[in-house]
Amino acid sequence: MKIETIRWKNNRAELIDQRLLPARIRYAKCATAKDMHDAIKRMIVRGAPAIGIAAAYGAYLGIRKSRASSYRKFRKELSGVVKYLAASRPTASNLFWALERIEHTAEKNKSVPVGELKKIILDEAHSILSEDIEMCHAIGGHGARLIKKGSRVLTHCNAGALATGGYGTAVGVIFSARKKIKRVYVDETRPVLQGARLTAWELSRAKMPFTVICDSMAASLMQKGKISAVVVGADRIAANGDAANKIGTYNLAVLASYHEVPFYIAAPFSTFDLSINSGREIPIEERPPEEVRKIGKEYITLRDADIYNPAFDVTPAKLIMAIITERGVIRRPGKRGITEYS
């Protein structure tokens, strides 16, 4: 099963428009930094690692037509593009990590002619994409060892191929452990339904047994002993191990702790933000109220209903049994455990 979430074709980036799944597959074509900014902001592309990859390509798209005659002028243009793309969404650490990597690449090659430097930046974006796929396979391998034979695994939102360069973090663990997994339970993940629309689609393509549930059904399943482990992704992880992920993740962590179900986070080190001490410092994006008022084009509540729509919540490190990374498994995460792997 191969899913090209992001690809480079005809000198532009093409992204699967995830708003249209599972009904149809269509690639949105991004030829400018504005195209990429809009694609990230409007969730044509989503998932922390995928956003980072998209932003790297967006940085190149923003400077590829630069006529700067000196590195100083070129660097000023690049900084403007990076600042613009960084404003597209505030929570996912991978966005800022990828843009910083592009800027570092430019600085490292400042003596190179501008025309050649543009190609180096594009090659760096290609590397970020290919490395992400390798990292996700490594995450999957490490995580699979934590899954017991005959397990029924619960996941939330979409942390699969669609959220990454093409394999997945949390769903990558599920793919890698598929021979040991009896069934996957998929939270629908309101309000945008990434679980029901995207994760179910990926698992169906992989021919894995799965069941979609409403978000409010997880507690009942745990109470009945039907969940062996919870595996989710993350958008930003603080130095103490607190992790921000799709809204509703914290609910699952509390439920898993109460029912003594292992709760795992799967994420690459590009998701770690060691500059912040705890989850209290993670900026939480608030999305448009129409995402809650409607499903598709249909209103499901009053058109003028007051809406609160944070896209993410923060799970305290003490509720996380382990963070699965490409470098290995950080058990009972805390500041010491994370810095030892960094």
Tell me how far apart the alpha carbons of residues 252 and 104 are, in angstroms, rounded to a whole number: 38
Average pLDDT, the chain: 96
Tell me how far apart the alpha carbons of residues 15 and 78 are, in angstroms, rounded to a whole number: 22
Say whether the peptide bond before residue 310 is cis (omega within 30 degrees of 0). Answer: no
Q: How large is the average pLDDT for residues 8-20?
A: 97
Tell me how far apart the alpha carbons of residues 117 and 47 are, in angstroms, rounded to a whole number: 29
- With bands split at pLDDT 50, 70 and 90, how would you rate the model's confidence at 341? low
Q: Is beta strand 6-9 parallel, antiparallel or unpaired with respect to 12-16? A: antiparallel
Catalytic residue list contains 235: yes
CA Rg, the chain, in Å? 20
Q: For residue 167, how many other CB atoms are within 10 A of its CB?
A: 26
Q: Which string of DSSP letters, residue by residue, matches 118-130?
A: HHHHHHHHHHHHH
pLDDT digits over 142-198, tens only? Answer: 999 999 999 999 999 999 999 999 999 999 999 999 999 999 999 999 999 999 999
pLDDT score at 94 = 98
pLDDT score at 340 = 67
Looking at the predicted structure, is the pLDDT value of residue 299 above 80?
A: yes
CB-based burial label for 48 (10 Å; 0-12, 13-18, 19+)? buried
Say which amino acid occupies 187.
Answer: D
What is the reported pTM? 0.96
pLDDT digits over 133-146, tens only? Answer: 999 999 999 999 99
- Percent of the chain scoring above 70 in pLDDT: 98
pLDDT score at 342 = 61
Q: How large is the average pLDDT for residues 283-309?
A: 96
Domains, the chain, in order of start with CATH, read 6-137 (1.20.120.420), 143-341 (3.40.50.10470)
Q: How large is the average pLDDT for residues 2-11?
A: 94
Give the CA diameter of the chain.
68
SS3 298: strand
DSSP state, residue 148? P
Strands of 210-213's sheet in order across: 210-213, 181-187, 151-155, 229-232, 263-266, 322-325, 328-331
One of 35, 235, 242, 273 is an active-site residue; which one? 235
pLDDT digits over 66-90, tens only? Answer: 999 999 999 999 999 999 999 999 9
